[in-house]
Amino acid sequence: GENVEQHPSTLSVQEGDSAVIKCTYSDSASNYFPWYKQELGKRPQLIIDIRSNVGEKKDQRIAVTLNKTAKHFSLHITETQPEDSAVYFCAASRNDYKLSFGAGTTVTVRA
Amino acid sequence: GAGVSQSPSNKVTEKGKDVELRCDPISGHTALYWYRQRLGQGLEFLIYFQGNSAPDKSGLPSDRFSAERTGESVSTLTIQRTQQEDSAVYLCASGATSETDTQYFGPGTRLTVL
């Protein structure tokens, strides 16, 4: 089955700086890669996703890049703000319903 | 519109007791998923329902775990003879189709087994 690894497990950045989280996956047939944000005590919420026919996708301060050859994808948050502090999860799926999640990255934005 | 709802929000039980957790998906969503999230960890897939098809139970950790779904509506996750290692947040999600569409999560049920 799919194995998704996520790094780093924790990330502390100064407000205004950028944050980058990287994930690798094992199943070359995977073609859907969502990112979820989970604030403390709350439910995971989709923040951005990318499909394998696209190399990069951007939505305001967040962007995701995908390298299918290397089987890795990354989340980039620019101009970080305190409200970006949360746990971020990457996931991968091979065109079916079963998402395989990474272990999560705890992001702390220091004011 | 209403999102995914789950009940109870918190459940404390004694080891060996049975518990039942409920999920109400978004109306019209045919896909429903259950996940387990242990403290500080990622999401573990438990079970998936899609319409009237046979569910994918491949993520259920033991035969103490079972889940039912009534048509395309409410689902219940039952854990029999609870153990302390069952303590976790149980998250339900629903989606519009069986394809790789967005999964919308409920708030979760925090289960504590004493």
- Per residue in B65-95, pLDDT (tens digit) is 999 998 778 999 999 999 999 999 999 999 8
Between CA A98 and CA A103 the distance in angstroms is: 16
**Could you tell me how many CB contacts below 8 A there are between chain A and chain B?**
52
The predicted structure's pLDDT at residue B70: 84
- Are B23 and B6 a contacting pair, CB within 8 Å? yes
Interface contact A46, partner B, CB < 8 A: yes
Residue-level pLDDT at A41: 85
Is the Cβ of B50 closer than 8 Å to some Cβ of chain A? Answer: yes
Asked whether the beta carbons of B16 and B81 are under 8 A apart, the reply is yes
What mean pLDDT comes out for the span B29-57? 90
pLDDT tens sequence across B18-36? 999 999 999 988 889 999 9
Tell me, what amino acid is at B50?
A: Q
The minimum CA-CA distance between A26 and chain B, rounded to whole Å, is 17
Check whether A77 has a pLDDT greater than 60.
Answer: yes
Question: What integer pLDDT is reported at residue A63 of this predicted model?
Answer: 97
DSSP state of B56: B
| Site from A4, A40, A43 to mutate, B interface, most B CB atoms within 10 angstroms | A43
β-bridge pairing B10-13 and A86-92: unpaired
At B1, the pLDDT band (50, 70, 90 cuts) reads low
The two tokens of residue B59 are: 């993520």
